[in-house]
Amino acid sequence: MAKPSEGPKMPKRVYEARVPVLREELVQMQVALQQAPFSALVTIAGDDAAGKGEVINLLNGWLDPRGVETHAFHASTDEERDRPPMWRYWRTLPPRGRMAIYVGGWHADALETPASAGRASFEATLQRLAHFERLLADDGALIVKIWLQLSKAAQRDRLHELADDPDTAWRVSPEDWKHHRAYDRRARLAEHLRRVTDQPDAPWHVVDAADPRTRNVELVSHLLARFHAHQRKHAKPAPAAKPGRVVTLRAAGLKRLRGLSLDQHLSEDAYQAKRDKWLGRLNRAVRAAAEQCRSIVWVFEGWDAAGKGGAIRRLTSAIDARDYRVIPIAKPSDEEKSHHYLWRFWRHVPRAGRVTIYDRSWYGRVLVERVEGFCREEEWRRAYAELNDFEAQLTGHGVIVLKFWLHLSAAEQLRRFRHREETPYKRHKIGAEDWRNRRQWRAYEHAVGDMLALTHRPGAPWHLVPADNKRFARLEILKTSCKRIAAALGHDV
């Protein structure tokens, strides 16, 4: 973590000579960024009265506004409080080729954590922020974090200077003076925050903000230097991902998958007799969750033709259409590909009391993307921990996560494929890609086994459903969902 530079004030004539050069270099940086395979996130944080607003106004004045967005996080809205804390940061992330400037960043919220929350809560927040930045850096993002630092005496003088001028007095609030009186405590917290969240690919750069001209030149120079270093790092394209032989990482998952009995049977009469009872219970369970402001996330994964769509239709028949959304996950759009792969899932996390059903999900990273070579080995290997952390953030916020793998025998899949080809209104559901995926059965089987072994966690366990018999599978999903929701709410089924 770089220390603040110290020195005499920069003469005005020297500053004015540097400004045109810096402005030109900033614009050229933006032009180069548009063609770069990464996004740029610039955080301007620091002590009160250190000039954060002045610096951000300066950057917005020197940069082309069409290629940059500025985000400031105020008190959380109801929409934000209804979701895990990181949701409001994920939704602001810029796509590759663009820049975002953050006023205080996500770090400002951490420093304002009420003292009543306790040190443990503060430490957990810092770890969550560090993890967030690692995710983005691993995905290639340029993360530039600037801390504008003022000594206690310099802060006092700056506040008096602003307060004594009628044109700037409005910028000094009672809260600023309150923070000044607590300067030593806040400085210790800020130093600890920087130490915990300082990482090789997301380091803090501390700038002495006593002299505005020196501050501006050093900040812009650092931004340019970081950009050019990052650009050189990414000048050579990363090795292209390619499919390879899928080798099991954890045998326990594959054993569990292959050990599942698929010869379950449920007659139409038996299904009809039990279906309405469990649909009614599911309706009551979902409404009870809403009354407790608990949202529910269903995740459906399974073999092609395993019956995910039919199971979802039966499930939603028990839920008020105003309270749920079904998110079908297919090949990512250009917008989605320009962001971190988790971005498109974070944006659909439901509000408190609502339901989101993912028809396929974030597990594509360790299934189709792994098997087909759509991502590199280091990307899918680290994804298991990333997915566990994502779900831990959901469940930690009170979201009830229900994950189902619909398991099918190869023989039954073949029968359903042929039935689809022979049925006019089902032909749109079968294509060359389905047959190609079927030829990869063994590779997918190993990938599924690793998924089950490495992402089965107490708060978000995998439920394996025998799906050779559709009626049995649908009823099993209804029953398991009711029981899991009731257990999460502390109710009887």
Residue 457 has phi, psi (to 5 degrees) of: -130, 150
* 5, pLDDT greater than 60: no
Asked if the model's pLDDT at residue 9 lies above 80, the reply is: yes
**pLDDT tens digit string along 188-207?**
999 999 999 999 999 999 99
Q: Tell me the pLDDT band of 248, cut-offs 50, 70 and 90.
A: very high
pLDDT digits (tens, 9 = 90+) for 63-74: 998 889 999 998
Q: Using 50, 70 and 90 to split pLDDT, how confident is the model at 492?
A: confident
Task: Please give the mean pLDDT across all residues of the chain.
Answer: 94
User: What six digits make up the tokens of 127?
Assistant: 């770890």
pLDDT of 35: 94
Q: Is the pLDDT of residue 457 over 80?
A: yes
Q: What is the pLDDT of residue 235?
A: 87
The per-residue pLDDT for 493 is 73
Q: Mean per-residue pLDDT for 243-248?
A: 85
Instruction: Supply the pLDDT for residue 111.
Output: 86
Tokens of 405: 């793998």
Dihedral sign for Cα 493, 362, 260, 477, please. positive
How far, in Å, CA of 453 to CA of 230, rounded? 36
- Please report how the helices 212-233 and 52-62 are oriented relative to each other, as an axis angle in degrees rounded to 10: 60
- Return d(Cα 114, Cα 232) in angstroms, integer: 42
Question: What is the arithmetic mean of pLDDT over 153-179?
Answer: 91
- Per-residue pLDDT of 59-111, as tens digits, reads 999 999 888 999 999 889 999 999 999 999 999 999 999 999 999 999 998 88
Sheet holding 40-46, edge to edge: 68-72, 99-103, 40-46, 142-149, 204-208
- Residue 2 pLDDT grade (very low, low, confident, very high; cuts 50, 70, 90): low
Can you give the pLDDT at residue 112?
79
**DSSP codes joined into one string, 343-377:** HHHHTTPPPTT-EEEEES-GGGGGTHHHHHTSS-H
Share of the chain above pLDDT 90, in %: 88
Sorting pLDDT into bands at 50, 70 and 90, what band is 6?
low
Q: What is the pLDDT of residue 115?
A: 60
d(Cα 89, Cα 98) in Å, to the nearest integer?
16
Is the model more confident about 491 or about 405?
405
pLDDT for 116: 58
Q: Which of 383, 307, 319 has the alpha carbon at shortest distance from 345?
A: 383
Cα 252–Cα 255–Cα 256 angle in degrees, nearest 5 = 85
The whole-number average pLDDT for the span 153-176 is 91
Tell me the pLDDT tens digit for each residue of 339-378.
999 999 999 999 999 999 999 999 999 999 999 999 999 9
Rounded CA-CA distance 234/283 in Å is: 51
Cα 105–218–5 angle (5° rounding)?
A: 95
- Residue carrying the six token digits 């020195």: 7
DSSP conformational letter for 22: H
**Average pLDDT for 13-35:** 96
| Residue 315 to residue 81: CA distance in whole angstroms | 27
Within 8 A by CB and 6+ apart from 222, the residues are 144, 146, 205, 207
Q: Tokens 């089965």 label which residue? A: 456
pLDDT band at 4; cut points 50, 70, 90: low
